A and B are shown apart, each in its own frame.
Chain A
Amino acid sequence: MIRFELDPLPRRRKRVGVYLGVLALAFTLAGALFAAYGVGPLEAYGTLLEGTLGDPQGLAEVLRRTIPLLLIGSGLTLAFRVSFFNIGAEGQLLLGAAAGAAVALFLPASAVSLPLMFLAGAAAGGLWTLPAAWLRARVDVNEILTTLMLNSVAGYLVLYLVSGPWRGEQVQGFTYTDEFPGAARLPLLGDTLVHWPTLVLGVVLAVALQVLLTRTSLGYELRVVGESPRAARYAGMPIPRVVLLTGLLSGGAAGLAGVGEVAGIHYRLLDPSQISLGYGFTAIIVAWLARGHPALVLLTAPLMGLILAGGDLLKISLNMPFRVIDVFSGLMLLCLIAGESLVRYRVRWAR
């Protein structure tokens, strides 16, 4: 007879095993889904792997999508650890992109253009979380709703800018700004779209936030506030300030990603739906998978980058419907949440 019993302290090996198991399950279920569309699962995964990891151009596509996920994902991982459920990274990214564009378009181009753009982007993304963070810290308004609502506000704001005051002079009927000057463009890796300085920034941020959380006294404070607000209050920690700081950090990271997209790929501010391919939402999965460790985003962001790039590939080369890949990421998230509860049990074979 099989029984499930609570396991108060799952071992690391078991934890890794369970997660790999549920990931395999997700891939199997998605395979069944592909089959239902008339594409053999092996063929689909074969195409997916070959076209991404097996091909330099494909690999570059994966990396290009990894970059924003890395930045936003590490910020969100920190925020989730503090129990600040920032669902507004998409809007924060757009605000970052807009601020970066403002620097590129309206300040004289110089050697410091790019650093200035990143600074402005981080500040704008961070500030964009402040209303939500402030409401949460002061009057305990649920930040999930407020950050989510700020997303659409950010979208309309950018749309307004590119179709109105910031609309380019040489763009005729289009809704985007003029191109950034050369000094405001990020260098690329070869002839790919991989803007490597942003990639480096993402790796540094993931590691830095990990160090912040685990090695500093501020990080200790963040963890206590996230785990047990009562204990934080008991110890006299400034909870509102911690929540505001978390909002600033996670929004700032998303803002950096926004600057990366416009300065590395588009060279202009354009329609919100073209700046970000839902990175702010996909990064939530990235952060969820990282289980509170920003450094783990170094693994989970490329994984989701692979899935996003693979999705495009399936769409183009196998004629799969557009939404299939969303279903795929949804399946994965579900399986991982299931895995989360499975880890807390152990199986026992009784007589």
Chain B
Amino acid sequence: METSPPLLRLSNITRSFPGVLANDRVSVDFHAGEVHALLGENGAGKTTLMNILYGLHAPDSGELLFEGRPVRVGSPAQALRLGIALVPQHPLLVERHTVAENLALGLRDGLLLTRRRLLAKLRERLADHPLQVDLEARVESLSAGQKQRLEILRALLQGARVLILDEPTSVLTPQEVAPLFQQLAQLKAQGMAILFISHKLDEVLSHADRITVLRAGRKVGELSAREATHEQLVRLMLGREAVPRPRLAPAQPGVRLEVTNLEVRSDRGLPAVRGASFTLAPGEILGIAGVAGSGQGELVEALAGLRPFRGQARLEGEPLEGLSPAQLFARGVAHVPEERRAGTVPAMSVAENLALRTFRTALRRGPWLDRERMERQATELIQAYQIATPGPRAPLRLLSGGNIQRAVLARELAGAPRLLIAVHPTYGVDVGATEQVHRLLIQRAREGMSVLLVTEDLDELFALSHRVAALYQGALRGPWPAGEVDFERLGRMMTQAAEGAA
């Protein structure tokens, strides 16, 4: 493979932004028929490199060579003409239109065809294609995975030979991940060069051929995926050894949270959680596995004071019904929401975001907001939780996902809560932040905090939980001690109707 000339070569690419060198003399070769993964912590410069490839950013210096010829990619249109396509992390589709209409945007004369001719033409071009979609479905009715497939198809119709995917799996449910990689493998077999970014090392190790690791703008390693190991990649990314996760301490006796016969309805008024019952001991981490739509969102919202429920939920005997999120927080219930956007105000400063729980209590002096104290508190939290930010006054939106998540955790843990409800706490964050989040949860549990951990990531679930349970269509299965169920069984439990549920 090394003997064939690369389809696309990046040579000594340097790009700076005010105050940072985002790419520092990076050289990478991309070969046809190869899947190349780009790894690195947040801020390592991965997105910048992709944007340069796709013509969204211009490099300060360095060269792009396409089939050996130097090229200048000044815009996405030029990139597409060369055959370089990007599948963005969040799809850029016209939601109200059909799949066919969205694909028409990728055909040269697509917008001029009648509906029937367009459908016929697309059917013909996609006839024996590995990727299949329903051409007449509306985009808004598609799942995240289907939308992504549509983006890929559009790129292919435009004649792409190099396909770039920015964190493609971060928007997918676990069941959608395997099909994506199957499709990518088929495209690879047809001779495409594929480049993707991911934070998940297992994914990279099992689906990529070559791996390039960036750290602080520099390329720190390029390995063949067959020879690379998990530890090696972590070391390259972090520039240090991984810190081993602390051990879970046994839960303490007693009952912190008692939930009996919980019934919650969805936004559409349908039963979303059906009679869930469980208890949580002080210092215990209970992991609940559930895919989107299984009722996990409603369960969490009910316990966090965001949704009415029937049945009982008691925190150390005190009923939680009818309490607002602010009242719950005052009683020691903290909440790391599923979507970071739901728990933060991106346009406001880091300090103001850290004050979201305390602006009415600790930070208030009569009618006044004690800004000095707010900033002092923020500075302390930024230090303690190693939040990488230009400062407490920087808008939160400038931070990477991992650092926003650190900020959310810092805020939620600052009041020494008795119960933390955490949903996907490491979703889309890098290895360093994941390590830190896991360490924090385990440490706090050792100190007596109870954790209700809701996640789709079964690795995480088993690594952190004393007991595990699964939600399937609103019914809670379990919980069982983590040692008594295995991975496959829990996986089946969260996806299959007929599990002889004992």
Docked Cα-Cα span, A9 to B337, in Å, equals 27
Whether B395 and A216, one on each chain, are in contact in the complex, defined by CB atoms closer than 8 angstroms, is: no
- The B-contacting residues of A in range 217-236, CB under 8 angstroms, are 217-221, 223-224, 227-228, 230-231, 233-236
The chain A residue with its CB closest to the CB of B326 is A236
Q: How far is the CB of B85 from chain A (nearest CB, A)?
A: 20
Cβ contact of A220, chosen from B343, B352, B394, cutoff 8 A: B352
- Whether the pair B342, A231 counts as a contact (CB closer than 8 A) is yes
Task: Decide if A348 touches B337 in the complex (CB within 8 Å).
Answer: no
Among A1, A236, A350, which residue has the most Cβ atoms of chain B within 10 A?
A: A236
* Bound CA span A218–B335, Å: 23
Tell me if B329 and A216 are in contact (CB < 8 A). Answer: no
Chain B residues near A216 (CB, 8 Å)?
367-369
Q: Which residues of B contact A348 (CB under 8 A)?
A: 58
Q: Closest chain A residue to B371 by CB distance?
A: A215
B369 lies within 8 A of A236 (CB): no
A5 within 8 A of B: yes
A301 to chain B, nearest CB (A): 25
State the Cβ distance, B342 to closest chain A Cβ, in Å: 5
Q: A236-B326, A236-B329 are in contact. Are A8 and B397 (CB under 8 A)?
A: yes
A103 vs B11: C-alpha distance when bound (angstroms):
80
Q: Chain B residues near A1: list those with CB within 8 A.
A: 74
Distance A231 CA – B57 CA, assembled complex (angstroms): 33
Q: Which of A5, A220, A227, A350 contacts B359 (CB 8 A)?
A: A220
**How far, in angstroms, from A231 to B306 measured CA to CA in the complex?**
11
Q: Identify whether the interface residues of B are mostly helix, strand, loop, or mixed.
A: loop
Q: Which of A9, A220, A233 contacts B306 (CB 8 A)?
A: A233
For the complex, give the distance between the alpha carbons of A350 and B64 in Å.
15
Interface residues in B293-307 by Cβ distance below 8 A to A read 305-306
Q: Is A3 an interface residue (CB 8 A)?
A: yes
Assembled-state Cα–Cα distance A217/B358 (Å): 10
**Can you list, as one digit per residue, whether each of B313-328 has a CB less than 8 Å from chain A (1) or not (0)?**
0000000000011111
Q: Which residues of B contact A224 (CB under 8 A)?
A: 345, 348, 356
Task: Find the A residue at minimum CB distance from B352.
Answer: A220
Would you call B355 an interface residue if the criterion is a C-beta within 8 Å of the partner chain's C-beta atoms? yes
Residue from the list B346, B357, B364, B367 in contact with A235, Cβ < 8 A: B357
B126 in contact (CB, < 8 A): no
Is A228 in contact with B355, judged by CB distance below 8 angstroms? no
B345 touches A350 (CB 8 A): no
Evaluate whether A234 and B348 lie within 8 angstroms (CB atoms) in the complex, with A215-B371, A217-B360 already known.
no
Residues of A within 8 Å of B325, CB to CB, are 233-236
Q: With an 8 A cutoff between CB atoms, is B398 at the interface?
A: yes
Least CB distance, B413 to chain A, in whole angstroms: 16
Cα of A87 to Cα of B274 in the assembled complex, Å: 46
Residues of A within 8 A of B (CB): 1, 3, 5, 8-9, 215-221, 223-224, 227-228, 230-231, 233-237, 348, 350-351
Residue pairs across A and B with Cβ atoms less than 8 A apart, 15 shown, are A3-B58, A5-B56, A5-B57, A216-B369, A220-B359, A221-B359, A223-B348, A228-B344, A228-B346, A228-B347, A231-B345, A235-B356, A236-B326, A236-B327, A350-B58
